[in-house]
Structure 1
């Protein structure tokens, strides 16, 4: 199937599942998801499921990418922090919707592949580094929005600290099997409110403020 047609069908399914943000739908119509998966799996790239990308990691299903992005309510002026670059697909979607994206990946081979894919799309507003995403990116803070693409055992305090007043943070929190999406909003006075959203299942967020390799 032609990839443009496949993306159109994917977006139509997202609408059926309740995604309403037209900017998010437009970005996912535009970004060629198949270049972020292994060539052998390109035929499955637009199905609504996660796929392995190597290193025991996955690319999230299109619905969860759309849902998390929609929760950020981006307008195009934001500086966004993404933790867990993975394939680079979520960063590509964010880069289409925000002014600047800072993304952190702890696994070097994945980071290098993601950088190559992002460069092929000329997404020059993405700054990628290799490191412990659970610590955020203090040098670039504050961020208008933060998105975490791996399941955490708790909400790291440092991420809340790096969120700008008026900012929004989306993170899956729970055990090693199942999590809930949390939407964290910071008031202009620094107050923090947390809302529990959809259930989800992500790979573990590994690092100092997440799970460790032995857990």
Structure 2
């Protein structure tokens, strides 16, 4: 059964009007956005927003969901993070913040294996069900505190934080292979930056911050100290 024409038109417009203008030009990534059906990972109450340039709440209390980062990132942000992290077919990837499972589905289409961690039980269940219904078999969803990573399964070729943090914990950087990459949105409002860290040696990391973007916080990560002397 083919999707209604208006859904395919909305998907086309999302790619051409939101994502390409945001310097997402990798043809494999653009192709994935056609193949992995974003609307299948959006809660039923918000299906009409599946292709809109906005954060989509994932829990019934919309205000609370957005406040606590329980949402899908805008499509252009997901696409740019995927393009710039550039997972490869032989790689093992860790995602922190499963949400609805959509980003894990995109990662799984590029990587060999994905483990995605989600602190909120209802979201972990949602992600697991969405991935199963989409027929994606190389993702494992675990209910866990992603700020600590998953040392027992490491080291990883790539780590993606699907939300913002004040800073990247050293524990996560230590779980990268040498040559591995981590992507996160780092900083505090009003200034946050997409941050890409490559492990260059046992005690070496290189960081670049090529673009600015604000995103909701991931739960469980430490914030900046608010004490002033």
Shared fold (TM-score, shorter chain, > 0.5): yes
Partner of 1:6: 10
Q: Map of 1:142-161 to 2, 5 A cutoff?
A: 142-161=155-174
Find out whether 1:37 has 2:42 as its counterpart. yes
Partner of 2:222: 210
CA contact (8 A) 1:36 1:117 kept: yes
TM-score by length of 2: 0.86
SS in 2 for 1:96: helix
SS in 2 for 1:187: strand
Q: Deviations over 1:178-200 (max 9, x none)?
A: 42111101125652100112222
TM-score by length of 1: 0.92
Partner of 1:136: 149
SS in 1 for 2:184: strand
CA contact (8 A) 2:185 2:195 kept: yes
How much has 1:95 moved relative to structure 2? 0.8
Rounded Cα–Cα distance in structure 2 between residues aligned with 1:144 and 1:71: 14
Q: Which deviates the most, 26-35 or 11-20?
A: 11-20
The structure 2 residue matched to 1:19, chosen from 7, 21, 24, is: 24
In structure 1, runs of 5+ residues without a counterpart are none
Identify if the C-alpha distance between structure 1 residues 189 and 130 changes in structure 2 by more than 3 Å, giving closer, same or farther.
closer
Partner of 2:95: 82
- Which protein has the larger Cα radius of gyration, Structure 1 or Structure 2? 2
SS in 2 for 1:150: strand
Partner of 2:227: none
How much has 1:17 moved relative to structure 2? 2.2
In structure 2, runs of 5+ residues without a counterpart are 225-229
SS in 1 for 2:14: helix
Rounded Cα–Cα distance in structure 2 between residues aligned with 1:125 and 1:210: 30
The structure 2 residue matched to 1:115, chosen from 92, 104, 128, is: 128
SS in 2 for 1:92: helix
SS in 2 for 1:20: coil
Find out whether 1:69 has 2:73 as its counterpart. no
Rounded Cα–Cα distance in structure 2 between residues aligned with 1:67 and 1:18: 8
How much has 1:176 moved relative to structure 2? 5.5
CA contact (8 A) 2:39 2:50 kept: yes
Identify if the C-alpha distance between structure 1 residues 177 and 130 changes in structure 2 by more than 3 Å, giving closer, same or farther.
farther
Rounded Cα–Cα distance in structure 1 between residues aligned with 2:171 and 2:141: 19
Q: Deviations over 1:52-100 (max 9, x none)?
A: 1116111000000011111112222111110000111111111111111
Count of aligned residue pairs for this structure pair: 211
